[in-house]
A and B are shown apart, each in its own frame.
Chain A
Amino acid sequence: MQRVSVHRLGEVLLASLQQELTDSLAVALQQDLTGMAAAGTRGVIIDISQVEIVDSFLARVLAEIAAATRILAGRTVVCGMRPSVAITMVEMGLGLPGLHTTRSLEDALTLLEAGEVSP
Chain B
Amino acid sequence: MTVAESSGAAAVAEFLRARREQLAQQWADLALFRAVYTSGRDIAVNAAHGLVDALTEVARDGRMDDVTVPALDQVRALLAQVIAARSQAGAGPLQVAGEVAELKRPVIAMVGRELADVNRGAALIAATDLMGTVRLVGMEISLSDEGAIVARQRQQLSEIATPVLKLWDRVVAVPLIGTLDSARTQVVMETLLEAIVDERATVAILDITGVPLVDTVVAQHLMKTALAVRLMGARCVVSGIRPQIAQTIVQLGIDLGDITTRATLADALEWALAQVGTSVGRA
A–B touch (CB < 8 A): the answer is yes
Determine if B183 is an interface residue (Cβ-Cβ < 8 Å): no
Determine if B230 is an interface residue (Cβ-Cβ < 8 Å): yes
Determine if A102 is an interface residue (Cβ-Cβ < 8 Å): yes
Alpha-carbon distance A72/B189, docked complex (angstroms): 36
- Given A83-B190, A83-B197, A90-B228, answer yes or no on A107-B40 (Cβ-Cβ < 8 Å): no
Specify the chain B residue showing the minimal Cβ separation from A108.
B233
Report yes or no: A101 in contact with B230, Cβ–Cβ below 8 A: yes
Report yes or no: A90 in contact with B202, Cβ–Cβ below 8 A: no
Determine if A79 is an interface residue (Cβ-Cβ < 8 Å): yes
Report yes or no: A96 in contact with B202, Cβ–Cβ below 8 A: no
User: Of the candidates B39, B193, B201, B202, which one forms a contact with A86 in the assembled complex, judged by CB atoms under 8 Å apart?
Assistant: B193
Alpha-carbon distance A102/B233, docked complex (angstroms): 4
Alpha-carbon distance A96/B233, docked complex (angstroms): 11
Residues of A within 8 A of B202 (CB): 103, 107
- Given A87-B189, A90-B224, A103-B202, answer yes or no on A95-B231 (Cβ-Cβ < 8 Å): yes
Alpha-carbon distance A90/B224, docked complex (angstroms): 6
- Given A79-B233, A103-B233, answer yes or no on A86-B200 (Cβ-Cβ < 8 Å): no
Report yes or no: A95 in contact with B194, Cβ–Cβ below 8 A: no
The smallest C-beta distance from B45 to any residue of chain A, in angstroms, reads: 14
Determine if B227 is an interface residue (Cβ-Cβ < 8 Å): yes
- Given A103-B196, A104-B200, A107-B202, answer yes or no on A87-B234 (Cβ-Cβ < 8 Å): no
Specify the chain B residue showing the minimal Cβ separation from A96.
B231
Determine if A20 is an interface residue (Cβ-Cβ < 8 Å): no
Alpha-carbon distance A90/B193, docked complex (angstroms): 13
Per-position binary interface string of chain A over residues 86-119, scored 1 when its CB falls under 8 Å from any chain B CB and 0 otherwise: 1101110001100001111001000000000000
Alpha-carbon distance A89/B232, docked complex (angstroms): 11
Residues of B within 8 A of A83 (CB): 189-190, 193-194, 196-197, 228, 232
Determine if A12 is an interface residue (Cβ-Cβ < 8 Å): no
Q: CB within 8 Å of A: which of B220-273?
A: 224-225, 227-234
Report yes or no: A81 in contact with B224, Cβ–Cβ below 8 A: no
Alpha-carbon distance A13/B200, docked complex (angstroms): 24
Report yes or no: A86 in contact with B232, Cβ–Cβ below 8 A: yes
The smallest C-beta distance from A111 to any residue of chain B, in angstroms, reads: 9
**Which residue, of A80, A82, A86, A91, has the highest number of chain B Cβ atoms within 10 A?**
A86
The smallest C-beta distance from B209 to any residue of chain A, in angstroms, reads: 24
Per-position binary interface string of chain A over residues 1-36, scored 1 when its CB falls under 8 Å from any chain B CB and 0 otherwise: 000000000000000000000000000000000000
Per-position binary interface string of chain A over residues 54-94, scored 1 when its CB falls under 8 Å from any chain B CB and 0 otherwise: 00000000000000000000000011111101110111000
Residues of B within 8 A of A80 (CB): 233
Alpha-carbon distance A83/B228, docked complex (angstroms): 8
Residues of A within 8 A of B234 (CB): 103
Report yes or no: B231 in contact with A103, Cβ–Cβ below 8 A: no
User: Of the candidates A78, A86, A102, A104, which one forms a contact with B228 in the assembled complex, judged by CB atoms under 8 Å apart?
Assistant: A86
The smallest C-beta distance from B229 to any residue of chain A, in angstroms, reads: 8
Alpha-carbon distance A107/B40, docked complex (angstroms): 35
The smallest C-beta distance from A114 to any residue of chain B, in angstroms, reads: 11
Alpha-carbon distance A103/B227, docked complex (angstroms): 14
Residues of B within 8 A of A102 (CB): 233
Extra contacts, 15 of them, besides A87-B189, A95-B227 (Cβ < 8 A), are A81-B233, A83-B189, A83-B194, A83-B232, A85-B231, A86-B231, A87-B190, A87-B228, A89-B228, A91-B39, A96-B231, A103-B202, A103-B232, A103-B233, A103-B234
The 5 closest A-B pairs by CB, nearest first: A83-B193, A101-B233, A102-B233, A86-B231, A86-B228
Listed A/B pairs (16) with beta-carbon separation below 8 Å: A81-B231, A83-B189, A83-B190, A83-B194, A83-B196, A83-B197, A86-B232, A87-B228, A89-B228, A90-B189, A101-B231, A103-B200, A103-B201, A103-B234, A104-B200, A107-B233
